Chains A and B, each alone.
Chain A
Amino acid sequence: MVVGEFTTEVDVLVLGAGPGGYVAAIRAAQLGKKVMVVEKAEVGGVCLNRGCIPSKALISAAHRYEEMNHSDDMGLTADGVKVDFSKVQAWKQTVVGKLTGGVGSLLKGNGVELVQGEALFVTPNEVRVYQGNEFNRYKFNHCIIATGSRPIELRAFPFGKRIISSTEALSLPEIPKSMVVIGGGYIGIELGQMYAKFGCQVTVIEGTEQILPLFENEIVRWVQRRLKKDGVTVHTKAKAVSAEQTDTGVTLKYEINGEQKEITADYLLVTVGRVPNTDELGLDQVGIKKNERGLIEVDHQCKTNVENVYAIGDVTAGPALAHKASYEGKVAAEVIAGHNSAVDYKCIPSVVFSDPEIASVGLSETEAKEQGHTVATGKFNYAANGRALSLNANEGFVKVVADKESGIVLGCQIVGPGAPDLIAEMGLAIEMGASLEDIALTIHAHPTLGEMVMEATENALGQGVHTLTK
């Protein structure tokens, strides 16, 4: 067989096996399509291999370590608690391995063929898949582009030995003595705080006025307080200027209020955002439209301007979140199979695994007002919840935002332990068009953190039992 001559034909070709791609492939296969997935690296994509899963694994190890050292309040004292970081890394890797193995089995079990390599569009119905310099041709009726994103590399801070992206930060062989993080978004804060809990001296350099700029100040304040306790130094309104590396460290020059400063650390972690992987696919070759940021333009059915080509996940506009990608993957697959599916959600929850954790869904109070609502809000503090106290977790609050006239729930913000799980109820409430009363009248188990959601809605109705209203 001459390389490059062999052509395979499939119904649906999915580019990328991340949370968007593998879900799209499975749904398309469930709907009777012959599906092939092309993946250049590991099955599971960024989320499973270099994102959500490994970061959460390391964060939970860091929390466990912190609790072992700081449970004196509850009468638990431990001496000589040690961290074997190579073992932590190995454990994290088994978690990743189990999940990526699971995705592999799911693809196989659904009859989806997996091809390793890098795809390049040749025509709107054909790609070449390269493995090194060799390639095979694949023809398809429909294609779903789900090639994801990668960390932004700043020109002044090229990734290399001591200047690292989130990818390397997740796989460091040892706990660094010190680390500077450029970018106080959720990735920078999660990873920075994790290493700080393991004893690393962490400094965060954020350009805007507050870290975690997508969240309200009343939420972020709780995280700032904890970061301080964890020994993290945060510089906001600071501008990273340049870095100089040696074999053992890196010195960052930065600017605050026009003042020049510098700091030396073992590593410089740059987490200033992500860019879509749309630059090496040959999209121009077939006329697939991108915007100036490299994001592929799609309609409400994830269709690009080229009839049979779809795009989902981080390569399209919207929050770069795994659950958004998976949702779009199902929509694209269903549309290809002839269903009249569409992207039609009212809200997407976003969560940060900081300490304390943050979760938000729907509209904030400010956004609801901007959209012309007369707003009713209700808040409930962890400090007044029995379960929170029994967990020794009394920092944080649940805030519910609703339209005052109709009582319809518009949004919810939570800061505190368990927030990422607690937010699910409010996502459902918003999708269902539930009112404050609907939630207040739903019996929540006692004692649980979930009761705070019920009580926050009662407070919004002016009927809170465990809160004294002045």
Chain B
Amino acid sequence: AKRALATPAIRRLARELGVDIQTVKGTGAGGRVTEEDVRSAVASQVS
């Protein structure tokens, strides 16, 4: 499986917030997962 394109800090943030980064759609350059992407994934999980 191809791994999500995200920096180590973003990957850690996703883990801490309980988000599977593989399921997050990246909106950054070249499909990179941004901090915003992770945070909005949390928001959509909660709501």
**Residues of chain B within 8 A of A346, CB atoms compared:** 3
What is the distance, in angstroms, from A386's C-beta to the closest C-beta of chain B? 32
**Residues of chain B within 8 A of A433, CB atoms compared:** 5-7, 30, 32
A175 at the B interface (CB under 8 A): no
**Does B8 lie within 8 Å of A340, measured CB to CB?**
no
A340 to B12 CA separation, bound complex (whole angstroms): 8
User: Please, which residue of chain B has its CB at the minimum distance from the CB of A407?
Assistant: B30
A432 to B12 CA separation, bound complex (whole angstroms): 13
A344 to B11 CA separation, bound complex (whole angstroms): 8
What is the distance, in angstroms, from A345's C-beta to the closest C-beta of chain B? 8
Contact flags (1/0) for A336-372 with B, using CB distance below 8 Å? 0001111011100000000000000000000000000
**Residues of chain B within 8 A of A339, CB atoms compared:** 16
A168 at the B interface (CB under 8 A): no
Contact flags (1/0) for A264-289 with B, using CB distance below 8 Å? 00000000000000000000000000
The A interface, classified by DSSP as helix, strand, loop or mixed, is loop
**Does B30 lie within 8 Å of A341, measured CB to CB?**
no
**Does A431 lie within 8 Å of B16, measured CB to CB?**
no
A408 at the B interface (CB under 8 A): yes
**Residues of chain B within 8 A of A257, CB atoms compared:** none
**Residues of chain B within 8 A of A340, CB atoms compared:** 15-16, 18
With known contacts A340-B16, A344-B15, A408–B5 Cβ distance under 8 A: yes
Contact flags (1/0) for B1-30 with A, using CB distance below 8 Å? 001011110011001101000000000001
A406 at the B interface (CB under 8 A): yes
A339 to B18 CA separation, bound complex (whole angstroms): 11
A142 to B41 CA separation, bound complex (whole angstroms): 33
A147 at the B interface (CB under 8 A): no
**Does A435 lie within 8 Å of B30, measured CB to CB?**
yes
User: Please, which residue of chain A has its CB at the minimum distance from the CB of B11?
Assistant: A344
User: Please, which residue of chain B has its CB at the minimum distance from the CB of A344?
Assistant: B11
User: Please, which residue of chain A has its CB at the minimum distance from the CB of B18?
Assistant: A340
**Does A431 lie within 8 Å of B30, measured CB to CB?**
no
A312 to B8 CA separation, bound complex (whole angstroms): 20
What is the distance, in angstroms, from B2's C-beta to the closest C-beta of chain A? 9
A345 to B12 CA separation, bound complex (whole angstroms): 11
What is the distance, in angstroms, from B40's C-beta to the closest C-beta of chain A? 19
**Residues of chain A within 8 A of B8, CB atoms compared:** 344-345, 431-432
A342 to B8 CA separation, bound complex (whole angstroms): 11
Interface residues of A in 23-76 (CB under 8 A from B): none
Contact partner of B7 (CB less than 8 A), chosen from A341, A406, A408, A431, is A431
What is the distance, in angstroms, from B32's C-beta to the closest C-beta of chain A? 6
A250 to B18 CA separation, bound complex (whole angstroms): 60
What is the distance, in angstroms, from B18's C-beta to the closest C-beta of chain A? 7
**Does B15 lie within 8 Å of A406, measured CB to CB?**
no
**Does A406 lie within 8 Å of B16, measured CB to CB?**
no
**Does B30 lie within 8 Å of A406, measured CB to CB?**
yes
**Residues of chain B within 8 A of A431, CB atoms compared:** 7-8
A86 to B8 CA separation, bound complex (whole angstroms): 46
Interface residues of A in 428-453 (CB under 8 A from B): 431-433, 435
A344 to B32 CA separation, bound complex (whole angstroms): 17
User: Lowest 3 A-B CB distances belong to which pairs?
Assistant: A433-B5, A340-B15, A432-B7
Beyond the given pairs A346-B3, A431-B8, 9 more chain A to chain B contacts, judged by CB atoms under 8 angstroms and listed by A's residue number, are A406-B30, A408-B5, A432-B7, A432-B8, A433-B5, A433-B6, A433-B7, A433-B32, A435-B30
- 12 A–B contacts, CB within 8 A, in A order: A339-B16, A342-B15, A344-B8, A344-B12, A344-B15, A345-B8, A406-B30, A408-B5, A431-B7, A431-B8, A432-B7, A433-B6
